[in-house]
A and B are shown apart, each in its own frame.
Chain A
Amino acid sequence: MSYGQKVNIIDIDYNWTLINYARATDGVYFFTLFKSVIISFITTFLCLLIATPVAFYISFSSVRIKSILLVSILLPLWTNLLIRTYSLIALLRTKGHVNNALENLWESANYFLNLFRLANHNLIGESFTPLSLMHNNFSVILGLVYIYVPFMIIPIYLVLEKIDRNILEASYDLGANHKVTFFKIIMPNISVGIISGIILVFIPCLGSFIIPELLGGADSQMIGNIIERQFKSANDWPFGSALSFILIYITIIILGVRYVYSKLYSRLNQKGVS
């Protein structure tokens, strides 16, 4: 469809035109795409940072606690995405619960300072200024991490489960410390899981539109929003498809780079061994 052209309101002429791709090279789209890639990259990185310790903890707990933890990580996913996002808004907005809690904290801190007759010194600021947690790029990333973290935990957990605990023990017995064991044994083994986790988080992030729309501010447009608009209000399916395909090509290029890299990496490793 991305090679078609609109002829009137609803008809599309499939004539292998490249006009839609040419249109997509406009700076606006490039800029938005670049921004989306950056946001998704940060999100994926944060997810990885959070997911790895959690997955470790789960994987080494007893069977009972493990199942409880696993279910509690999946449970939020069974609540509708929109509902969860709205709840997140309720927490984050200017007069939301987080700011209310902080304000209470500020007031009680001030109260104690008063007791010690220190209030006049304005040690913690003259008055409470609510943090602006909503409608900016920060909230978009926060929302994305919140929604996608489980998709990172699960694959990492699955590969961790697989590592034979005896090997770890052997490593200790042979005198390796925690650090060495982690980098030499655990890391190579879980890289498969991390990579599938990255795929499962990065790609949906790149195309997401609901979260930037609801949590984002006036300048949080992501490429997903533009694509969605082409299919809906702009009613321009060919251009929407073209943009989608550009997104697909980029993802494939990223995956390809990773593939080449892992090939090189394993070749280097082999050389090191021999």
Chain B
Amino acid sequence: MRNKYHISRRNFLAGTSATAIGLTLMPFSLGANDQDQLNFYNWDDYIGEDTLSDFASITGVKTNIDFFADNDELFSKLREGNPGYDIIVPSDIYVEKMTKAGMLDRIDQDKISNMGNIDVNFLNPIFDPNRDYSMPYMWGTIGIGYNKKQLRNTPDSWSHIYDSEIYSGNISLLSEATDVIACALKYLGYSANTKSTKEYKEAEELLIAQKKHIKVFAEDNGQDLLASGDVLMAQEYNGDIAQVMLEDDNISYIVPKEGSIIWEDCLCIPKDAPHKENAHKFIDFILRADIGAELADYIQYATPNKAAKDLMDDEYKSNPAIFPADETVKLCENMLYQGEEVSRMIQDTWTRILAS
């Protein structure tokens, strides 16, 4: 019985071996390592419409763009080795993490002639002293997006969403553990970068008590919930709220008076980048005043490029969702990498909050 059908087993083997042969032959077609290329790994829709073609016409380097959706994805993807990217755009805390993990290459500042355009406040950030590994791209804050019409007063404090039942069921918070807990710490009057277990415990209790009033921990779509009327207040990144503000006059943005988190996206060169020379050229190009202004105009985020900001109109410079008041900015903190133990504690806290 078994012998009669051995043909199908042979088939099976033939199939597998054919696949195997196919796979072994593949590497032979390797080649064409063009030096005039640049592999740019960026957030989606985070570069000017003509920026890449302008770069190509000036330097002759063709840019291939590829996208990721959040810093964690970027980090996990490069963790086991660089699959071939030349420029990546991680946020501050990840710049620090990647530097510590040896995933980034030092930027040769002699090759960046436009470094002088950068605002002095951005030249020596705590997450990357002296800008050895990163160049600033855009920055912003976390705050509260709210519906002006339906709210009785301006939510100028974190208490409106962290410690109040007035708008129960109409509040959305972010779903990123570090952000939500850091803002809770800010509200409680602690540093966002604390290492104290006691302070985290307090934040946890605050959030567990408030949870019944929170409609949803939104996966970076708080602006949609706000625009559709599902919530009246949403904790969000300023840029997201700025986007819906363009379409809906009832929506506004505020950074609470207790201070908040400040974020900064940076241009970095990952280790083993195949086109390092082009990557430097690209960073230098982005830091040009006119290009910086073009980018700021398209993306509508705050630019750290002072020369570029000077070229922009007043509408951009006075938009509260882009540039918060200076005294608020002073209260804000950059997130720092606290080491594995603290980040595990934050994650466990978050799991407990969600499961409670």
Contact = CB atoms under 8 A, between A and B. Distances in A.
The yes or no verdict on A and B being binding partners is yes
A234 B344 contact: yes
B215 A232 contact: no
Interface string A11-45: 00000000000000000110110000000000000
> Which of B75, B79, B175, B355 lies at the interface centre, i.e. has the most chain A CB atoms within 10 A of its CB?
B355
A226 B351 contact: yes
B354 A8 contact: no
Contacts of A94: 228-230
Contacts of A216: 216
Interface in B40-79: 70, 72-73, 75-76, 79
A228 to B, nearest CB: 9
> Which of A6, A135, A213 lies at the interface centre, i.e. has the most chain B CB atoms within 10 A of its CB?
A135
Contacts of A226: 351
Interface in B75-104: 75-76, 79, 97, 100-101, 103
Interface stretch (A153-161, A170-178, A217-225, A258-266): A217-225
Contact of A8 (B214, B219, B229, B340): B340
B219 A10 contact: no
A233 interface: yes
Interface residues of B, number: 36
Given A10-B101, A134-B230, A218-B215, A32 B178 contact: no
Contacts of A221: 351, 354-355
A6 B355 contact: no
Contacts of B350: 229
For chain A, give the interface size range: 20 to 34
B343 A28 contact: no
A75 interface: no
Nearest to A233: B72
Interface in A228-256: 229-236
Contacts of A95: 228-230
Interface of A: 6, 8-10, 28-29, 31-32, 93-96, 134-135, 213-214, 216-219, 221, 225-226, 229-236
* 5 closest cross-chain pairs (CB), A and B: A232-B72, A234-B347, A221-B354, A9-B101, A135-B216
Interface of B: 70, 72-73, 75-76, 79, 97, 100-101, 103, 175-178, 211-212, 214-217, 219, 221, 225, 228-230, 340, 343-344, 347, 350-352, 354-356
Given A8-B340, A28-B355, A234-B343, 7 more contacts: A93-B228, A94-B229, A94-B230, A218-B217, A218-B354, A231-B76, A234-B344
